[in-house]
């Protein structure tokens, strides 16, 4: 398929630059083909029933953006893509001239790092400090808001760009579908008998990268690490056996579940995944998807097109634009049903 099939024109004013005033006050689009229903997020409980399973990604966004200088004095901007251990990470580096293997980079607080090696776009850095890399990032790092949010992160973002589930450090972008949920909504869902399941997938910066090839089959998908606890595996497999509906909160949860369940049951509990879900993919685990609106020509837009149908997604997006829904990370949300 040609990437231009997944393009659309979005008025710039519909790109959400800030979260809604109150968490959980977003618009909600419900897709029940052939119907498209306009609602509010706090009505989501009406679309779930007892024993449905709702799967959340509990990754936590780290303060992954660092500013430093090379020994030559040249400025560099670093985005920690993946933490390897307490002192090493794979990083994206923006500089006038890319640093070479062995070169050092200096940061605030007397912290330095050295380039160990380079793998394609990623630099393997080793940090020299008595503190762990987690502590370094917390002390001198900045929250990495997405590139389409045209402002620097502030104090409010440190709370609002994390889900209420955030606990396992390692993501450089939020699993944004989860940002809508509040403790109150969660309690209402649980009171109704909906089963809440947590998994972890550390979202990488590659989630924002557009597809740069015309033929989407030639696109090389970025890799992300996921983990599914045994208790979550048990609940999910029981739901599959009993034909109960499984709803992924966000494309990250969906990618983890589908990667772990290629046999039709959840079998893989810890792994890296570079699964690229595109039209023609046969879904094994997920029945419904709760998600935000995605970038044109992105792998996430391709994923939802595989899930609900390309023509259906085009209609949904045009409806959302006409009804002034807010798009992307801090935007509004939708509940999709898998096309049979």
Tokens of 241: 């056996």
Q: What is the pLDDT of residue 340?
A: 87
Q: What is the pLDDT of residue 18?
A: 97
Each residue's pLDDT tens digit, 239-295: 999 999 999 999 999 999 999 999 999 999 999 999 999 999 999 999 999 999 999
* Ordered DSSP codes for 202-253: ---GGGGPBP-SSBGGGPPPP-EEEE--HHHHHHHHHHHHTT--EEEESHHH
Domains along the sequence of the chain with CATH: 3-61+157-337 (3.40.1780.10), 65-140 (2.40.10.240)
Q: What is the pLDDT of residue 253?
A: 98
Tokens of 2: 């040609």
Task: Report yes or no: 175 and 250 within 8 Å, Cβ to Cβ.
Answer: yes
Tokens of 234: 């048990």
Q: What SS3 state is found at 259? A: helix
Count of CA atoms in the C-beta half-sphere (13 A) of 258: 25
d(CA 285, CA 240): 7
Q: What is the pLDDT of residue 205?
A: 83
Q: What is the pLDDT of residue 222?
A: 86
d(CA 20, CA 331): 8
Task: Report yes or no: 266 and 238 within 8 Å, Cβ to Cβ.
Answer: no
Buried b or exposed e, range 277-306, using 16+ CB within 10 angstroms: bbbeeebbbbbbbbbbbbbebbbbbbbbbb
Give, for all 340 residues of the chain, the pLDDT tens digit.
Answer: 999 999 999 999 999 999 999 999 999 999 999 999 999 999 999 999 999 999 999 999 999 999 999 988 999 999 999 999 999 999 999 999 889 999 999 999 899 999 999 988 899 999 999 999 999 999 999 999 999 999 999 999 999 999 999 999 999 999 999 999 999 999 999 999 999 999 999 999 887 778 999 999 999 998 999 999 999 999 999 999 999 999 999 999 999 999 999 999 999 999 999 999 999 999 999 999 999 999 999 999 999 999 999 999 999 999 999 999 999 999 999 999 999 8
Q: What is the pLDDT of residue 207?
A: 79
Which residue bears the tokens 């999709």?
A: 336
45, burial (CB in 10 Å: exposed 0-12, middle 13-18, buried 19+):
middle
Which residue bears the tokens 């985005």?
A: 79
Buried b or exposed e, range 253-272, using 16+ CB within 10 angstroms: bbbbbbbbbeeeebebeeee
């Amino acid at each position: 398929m040609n990437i231009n099939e997944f393009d659309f024109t979005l008025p710039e004013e519909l790109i959400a630059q800030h979260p809604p005033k109150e968490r959980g006050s977003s618009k909600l689009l419900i897709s029940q083909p052939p119907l498209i229903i306009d609602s509010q997020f706090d009505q989501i409980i009406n679309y779930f029933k007892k024993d449905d399973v709702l799967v959340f990604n509990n990754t936590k966004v780290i303060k992954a953006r660092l500013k430093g200088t090379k020994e030559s004095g040249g400025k560099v901007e670093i985005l920690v893509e993946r933490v390897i251990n307490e002192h090493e990470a794979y990083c994206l580096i923006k500089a006038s001239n890319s640093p070479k293997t062995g070169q050092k980079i200096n940061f605030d607080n007397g912290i330095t790092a050295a380039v160990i090696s380079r793998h394609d776009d990623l630099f393997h850095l080793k940090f020299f400090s008595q503190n762990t890399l987690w502590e370094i990032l917390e002390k001198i790092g900045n929250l990495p808001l997405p590139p389409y949010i045209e402002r620097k992160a502030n104090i409010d973002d440190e709370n609002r760009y994390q889900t209420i589930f955030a606990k396992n450090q390692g993501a450089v972008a939020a699993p944004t579908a989860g940002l809508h949920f509040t403790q109150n909504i969660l309690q209402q869902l649980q009171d109704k008998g909906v089963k809440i399941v947590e998994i972890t997938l550390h979202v990488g910066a590659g989630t924002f990268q557009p597809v740069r090839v015309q033929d989407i089959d030639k696109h090389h998908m970025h890799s992300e690490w996921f983990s599914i606890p045994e208790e979550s595996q048990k609940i999910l497999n029981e739901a599959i056996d009993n034909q109960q509906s499984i709803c992924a909160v966000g494309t990250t949860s969906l990618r983890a579940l589908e990667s772990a369940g290629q046999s039709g049951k959840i079998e893989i509990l810890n792994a890296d995944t570079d699964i690229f879900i595109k039209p023609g993919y046969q879904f094994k685990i997920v029945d419904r998807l709760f998600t935000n609106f995605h970038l044109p020509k992105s792998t996430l837009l391709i994923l939802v097109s595989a899930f609900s149908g390309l023509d259906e997604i085009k209609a949904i997006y045009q409806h959302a634009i006409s009804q002034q829904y807010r798009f992307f990370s801090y935007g509004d949300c939708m509940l999709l049903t898998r096309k049979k």
